Amino acid sequence: MTTAATPDRVAIRKVLAAKFNDEELATLAFDVGLNREDLPATTRAARARELIACCENTGKLNALTAEIERLRPGSLQTKKQQGGQPNNTNALKHGLYSAHLQELQLDDLETMMTHGVNDEIAMLRAIMARVLRLAGSADNLDTAQNLLGSLGVASTRLAGLIKTQRLLEPQDGNDISRQLGAALGAVVKEFCLNE
């Protein structure tokens, strides 16, 4: 059984000051084994600070947080940040490419995605190569047309990525048409489509 980490003293103080009245603070002190005289402050916020300090000094902070959770369930839970949480690897298992990449390609995805647009271009070229292979072994005309349509969409996307690459990483004297031509030429050369 794992125990939850004790919330920080600021979170505890805010909950005590906002969600407990003076009588409840005195009851909390009693329940964790402190006397009301241990909390001589006159305001609720000050009494909350003293209660936390006394619990820390006597090693009863865990008992205090347990009692707070019992009386006000969920009040000490911290809210998650919006978006992906630190150390979250869900994107590697459930991300955009996971449904379309083979097992070995998924294993390499983390290492592949280190150079931004260049990696996207390389991945798109690999996908285009796969589509070309499938188009070559298509059983009927409709399947071949669909695959070639997909290749056209991928080519458009490749052009957009190359344009983005050029904007992000300007290269002397290279225009987009030459880069696009080189990219498509590499795909044609790789699959010997110029025969």
DSSP state of 41: -
Q: What is the pLDDT of residues 178-190, one digit of tens each?
A: 777 777 777 777 7
Q: What is the pLDDT of residues 163-180, one digit of tens each?
A: 877 777 655 555 666 777
Neighbours of 162 (CB within 10 A): 21
Please check whether residues 31 and 116 belong to one and the same domain.
no
The CA distance from 155 to 149, in Å, is 10
How many domains does one find in the chain?
Answer: 2
Please check whether residues 102 and 182 belong to one and the same domain.
yes
Neighbours of 35 (CB within 10 A): 10
C-beta separation of 181 from 174 below 8 A:
no
The CA distance from 25 to 87, in Å, is 38
144 located within any domain: yes
Q: What is the pLDDT of residues 3-26, one digit of tens each?
A: 455 668 888 888 888 888 888 888
Domain span at residue 135 reads 95-190
The CA distance from 139 to 145, in Å, is 11
pLDDT > 70: percent of the chain? 69
Please check whether residues 102 and 185 belong to one and the same domain.
yes
Is the overall model pTM greater than 0.85, yes or no? Answer: no
Tell me the chain's radius of gyration from C-alpha atoms.
31
